[in-house]
Structure 1
Amino acid sequence: MRVYGGQFFVEEIGQARSPIPGGVDDAIADIATIFHWPPSAFDGMSLTELADWREAARLRSGSADE
């Protein structure tokens, strides 16, 4: 199983905790579920871009809980 983000995101945000609730893997799963994107679609994304797409997926899903 491939772990996404890996060292790339550590370099982007330092050793700080991920600003994405649930973490990078959950964000990728949410986006992939809503937009049907393959894992390769996330390879070049920054953490900010990933967070923006996760918010778009949340809005598209109709979820108002978060």
Structure 2
Amino acid sequence: MCKVPVQGPSTSGEPARIAALESAFSQMAANVAEIMTLLRGPSCTSSSSTLPPEQGQRLTRILRSR
């Protein structure tokens, strides 16, 4: 199990780092939601495991934006 080191009092840059982490987390959550929507597609009953070309390209853009 990984232990997190104990840190001293927060510095003046701490609020900025927290805001950056919150922003990154929000972006990841939005990307996951969009990926899930793309994977569900227009029909959840489809047996095809291949995304249509336009959705595959969109998914690639999302993953590369990281």
Normalising by structure 1, what TM-score?
0.27
TM-score (norm 2): 0.27
